[in-house]
């Protein structure tokens, strides 16, 4: 799926300042598209820290350049060639296949983009009457108003289960919308999973079977697969890793909402699919033109003429990509991210070109930039020069600040909360709440913006037609070997004051300071590995905060991040924020177990968590034990106390089940999913979790 945009921009700025690019030297006589592709691919892998990269350029009906590299860390020396036909997860680039499938049904008069989704999915219901207004088009341009991602048990290891898609309607049934349908576009995974279900309902076929019939077979694409298909084929896939957490390659990365982000492909297959969208073999011209329209303009969006990484079409992340758009050339761009794979696809329809860049590890935006460089070189070879001059901020000089701007000081919500101070002397100071990061101070200028000292980025307040106050940001970053990336978006929205009682505030502070455990994730879920990653990150942040010697303000009073506190048990998502900064919301409810008083957290997207202190102690005194998954399907967590620590646990593993063992610092000590079912020495102060289908029984023995 797409990565948190704010963190990406921060990474881009930092890398542009401090990273020295290391790419393979090219012979002087090596020129043209292939040389440009090699340079750009190496740059993307270096900046993103990828382990392996594959790329391909398609032009006028055929692949004209392709290749693959392994990073020096994987080879123990210089970058080395990798299998060019390896499979990679393409993440959210899968949404282009879904969009194409919907448009194919539309052009065949089997559905209408502007009719309600309920026309085709009568079982689609929500706890919010506005859901009846959601049209099929709104699923494809991210303007449905859905909260975002109900992806429980969707990110899996070595498991082709599509339970995440199968359970979507059930999970949406209890949710409300975060915005009126059509109000604005904000990245939404659930919209495309719904679109996948629409395709299946209207076509009467399995999603991948329909995609194969209308796209893959006609285009001769044999290496484009669902996770289940990939697992059944004896074909090499790019290895994935989690450095510092698990040694060696991980099992296959599988995303169980295929139309949202689960497709696997080779770089050549993906580039060829993109290339096929430059002609009318797969879709009619009207459908292709519909995909390329600036759909983001239908709703709330910054009214600025400056490049941004997002400018939604139907399915596409951008239909106005820099520098093509600024040179009068249409370029259609889609990026994709799973936990471990990252993808970029760029298509230039009028010149019949496409490029795909796929990585194990890395960053999808760097892959998009690399693909852009490849196509810029291909255009240059055809005599089409691209002016890549970075757009500068408009001319302005320091000026006295109107006093009325001080009213905009306060707390702002986004993917992270901010506190914004505005001083009468004309400065704006951004505090990043919850992070041990220095504040940023900018100075007021004559055009109404606050600018940094270098004059390369700016912020300004915008009072929008919906009554909300937004913090608009603009910047441009260049990376050697990859070109440039523009930022022109609403970074955050002001949070209205929300006064709550001291009891409410304290109840939520206590709950959110508790260590919590996922209860309804599939045994193969990547969430169990993410716990180790999160634990290490939390420990590092706590250490940094301790070294700083001061407490970090965590959020706005009356809020928990982007959630507005309603009472002692309920909090609701509060942001009205277009683009990518207001994605993936949910409401949250706290519940106490009637018998034990244990704290449970229920997210409206279906995720369920239990406080760690409610986990019982693993009993190993008798030398054997049983653990059975109950009808609710919840995982069974146990603390490893003195009676079990140091003993070796052997597990008789049932079908469709698995276990994970952690030490006291959240390091993964053992996992039947990652390393097989071997006897495990139980660590002191650790945890063990058993998960599986209801009724799964684990027989344990201890020596």
pLDDT digits (tens, 9 = 90+) for 397-455: 999 999 999 999 999 999 989 999 999 999 999 999 987 789 999 999 999 999 999 99
Q: What is the mean pLDDT of residues 598-621?
A: 95
Beta bridge partners of 701: 624, 650
The string of pLDDT tens digits covering residues 652-662 is 999 999 999 99
Q: What is the pLDDT of residue 2?
A: 33
Q: What is the pLDDT of residue 437?
A: 83
Q: What is the pLDDT of residue 552?
A: 55
- Say whether pLDDT at 14 is over 90: no
Q: What is the DSSP letter of 246?
A: B
Q: What is the pLDDT of residue 543?
A: 62
State how far the Cα of 295 lies from the Cα of 140, in Å rounded to an integer: 9
Q: Write phi, then psi, for 578 (nearest 5 degrees).
A: -75, 170
Reduce the secondary structure of 480-529 to three states and give it as a string.
Answer: CCCEEEEEEEEEEEECCCCCCCHHHHHHHHHHHCCCEEECCCCCCECHHH
Report the CATH fold assignment for 403-494.
Answer: Lipocalin (2.40.128)
- Say whether pLDDT at 619 is over 50: yes
Top-confidence residue, 544 or 406: 406
The string of pLDDT tens digits covering residues 463-520 is 999 999 999 999 999 999 999 999 999 999 999 999 999 999 999 998 888 899 999 9
- Say whether pLDDT at 548 is over 90: no
Neighbours of 190 (CB within 10 A): 23
State how far the Cα of 549 lies from the Cα of 351, in Å rounded to an integer: 58
- Sign of the torsion formed by the C-alpha atoms of 143, 145, 148 and 150: negative
Q: What is the pLDDT of residue 582?
A: 95
Top-confidence residue, 174 or 247: 174
Q: What is the pTM of this model?
A: 0.93
Q: What is the pLDDT of residue 562?
A: 94
Top-confidence residue, 5 or 700: 700
- Say whether pLDDT at 462 is over 80: yes
Neighbours of 60 (CB within 10 A): 13
Q: What is the pLDDT of residue 455?
A: 92
Reduce the secondary structure of 169-188 to three states and give it as a string.
Answer: HHHHCCCCCCCCCCCCCECC
State how far the Cα of 570 lies from the Cα of 475, in Å rounded to an integer: 38
Q: Write phi, then psi, for 260 (nearest 5 degrees).
A: -90, -40
Q: What is the pLDDT of residue 134?
A: 98
**In sequence order, what are the residues at sequence separation of 6 or more whose Cβ sits closer than 8 angstroms to the Cβ of residue 369?**
40, 44, 344, 479, 482, 483, 485
Top-confidence residue, 158 or 676: 158
Q: What is the pLDDT of residue 694?
A: 97
Q: What is the DSSP letter of 618?
A: P
Secondary structure of residue 451 in the 3-state scheme: strand
- Say whether pLDDT at 459 is over 50: yes
Q: What is the pLDDT of residue 595?
A: 83
CATH superfamily of 5-381: DD-peptidase/beta-lactamase superfamily (3.40.710.10)
Beta bridge partners of 473: 459, 489
Q: Is 499 exposed, middle or buried (0-12, 13-18, 19+ CB in 10 A)?
A: exposed
State how far the Cα of 55 lies from the Cα of 84, in Å rounded to an integer: 8
The string of pLDDT tens digits covering residues 251-282 is 999 999 999 999 999 999 999 999 999 999 99
State how far the Cα of 542 lies from the Cα of 73, in Å rounded to an integer: 29
Q: What is the mean pLDDT of residues 181-191?
A: 98
Q: Write phi, then psi, for 419 (nearest 5 degrees).
A: -115, 125
Mean of the per-residue pLDDT values for the chain? Answer: 92
Identify the band that residue 300 occupies on the pLDDT scale cut at 50, 70 and 90.
very high
Neighbours of 439 (CB within 10 A): 11
Percent of the chain with pLDDT over 90: 85
Q: What is the pLDDT of residue 103?
A: 98
- Sign of the torsion formed by the C-alpha atoms of 483, 185, 149 and 105: negative
């Amino acid at each position: 799926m797409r990565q948190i945009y704010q963190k990406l921009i921060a990474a881009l700025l930092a890398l542009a300042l401090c990273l020295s690019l290391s790419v393979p030297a090219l012979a002087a006589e090596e020129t043209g598209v292939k040389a440009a592709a090699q340079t750009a691919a190496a740059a993307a892998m270096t900046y993103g820290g990828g382990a392996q990269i594959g790329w391909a350029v398609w032009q006028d009906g055929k692949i004209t350049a392709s290749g693959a590299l392994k990073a020096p860390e994987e080879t123990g020396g210089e970058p080395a060639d990798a299998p060019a036909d390896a499979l990679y997860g393409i993440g959210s680039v899968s949404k282009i296949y879904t969009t194409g499938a919907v448009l194919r049904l539309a052009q065949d008069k089997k559905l209408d983009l502007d009719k309600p989704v309920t026309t085709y999915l009568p079982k689609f219901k929500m706890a919010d009457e506005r859901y009846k207004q959601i049209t099929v088009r709104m699923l494809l341009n991210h303007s449905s108003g859905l909260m975002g991602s109900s992806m429980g048990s969707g990110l899996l290891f070595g498991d082709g289960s599509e339970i995440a898609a199968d359970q979507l309607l059930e999970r949406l049934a209890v949710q409300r919308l975060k915005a009126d349908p059509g109000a604005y576009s904000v990245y939404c995974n659930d919209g495309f999973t719904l679109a996948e279900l629409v395709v299946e309902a209207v076509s009467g076929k399995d999603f991948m079977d329909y995609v194969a019939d209308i796209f893959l077979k006609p285009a001769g694409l044999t290496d484009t697969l669902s996770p289940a298909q990939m697992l059944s084929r004896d074909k090499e896939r790019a290895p994935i890793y989690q450095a510092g957490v698990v040694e060696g390659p991980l099992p296959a990365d599988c995303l169980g909402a295929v139309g949202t982000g689960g497709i696997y492909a080779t770089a050549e297959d993906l580039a060829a699919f993109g290339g096929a969208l430059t002609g009318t073999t797969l879709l009619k011209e009207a459908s292709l033109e519909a995909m390329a329209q600036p759909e983001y303009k239908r709703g709330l969006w910054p009214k600025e003429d400056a490049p941004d990484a997002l400018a939604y079409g139907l399915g596409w992340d951008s239909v106005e990509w820099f520098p093509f758009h600024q040179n009068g050339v249409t370029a259609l761009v889609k990026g994709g991210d799973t936990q471990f794979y990252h993808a970029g696809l760029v298509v230039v329809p009028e010149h019949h070109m496409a490029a795909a860049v796929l990585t194990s590890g890395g960053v999808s935006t760097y892959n998009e930039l690399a693909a852009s460089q490849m196509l810029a070189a291909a255009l240059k070879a055809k005599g089409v020069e691209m002016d890549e001059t970075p757009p500068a901020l408009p001319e302005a000089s320091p000026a006295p600040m109107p006093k009325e701007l001080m009213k905009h000081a306060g707390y702002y919500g986004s993917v992270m909360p901010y506190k914004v101070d505005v001083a009468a002397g004309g400065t704006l100071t951004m505090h990043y709440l919850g992070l041990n990061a220095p504040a940023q101070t900018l100075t007021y200028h004559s055009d109404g913006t606050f600018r940094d000292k270098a004059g390369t980025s700016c912020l300004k307040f915008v009072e929008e037609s919906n009554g909300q106050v937004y913090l608009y940001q603009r910047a441009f970053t260049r990376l050697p070997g990859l070109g440039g990336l523009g930022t022109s978006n609403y970074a955050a929205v002001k949070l209205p004051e929300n006064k709550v009682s001291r009891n409410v505030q304290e109840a939520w502070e206590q709950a959110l300071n508790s260590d919590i455990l996922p209860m309804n994730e599939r045994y193969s879920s990547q969430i169990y590995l993410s716990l180790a990653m999160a634990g290490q990150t939390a420990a590092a942040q706590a250490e940094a905060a301790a070294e700083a010697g001061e407490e970090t303000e965590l959020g706005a009073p009356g809020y928990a991040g982007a959630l507005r506190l309603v009472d002692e048990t309920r909090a609701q998502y509060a942001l009205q924020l277009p683009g990518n900064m207001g994605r993936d919301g949910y409401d949250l409810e706290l519940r106490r177990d009637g018998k034990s008083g244990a704290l449970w957290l229920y997210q409206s997207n279906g995720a369920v968590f239990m406080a760690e202190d409610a986990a019982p102690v693993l009993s190993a005194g008798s030398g054997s034990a049983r653990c059975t998954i109950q009808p609710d399907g919840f995982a069974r967590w146990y603390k490893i106390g003195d009676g079990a620590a140091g003993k070796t646990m052997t597990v008789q593993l049932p079908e469709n089940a698995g276990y994970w063992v952690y030490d006291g610092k959240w390091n993964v000590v053992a996992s039947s999913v990652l390393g097989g079912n071997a006897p495990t020495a139980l660590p002191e102060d650790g945890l063990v979790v058993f998960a599986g289908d209801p009724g799964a029984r684990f027989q344990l023995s201890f020596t």
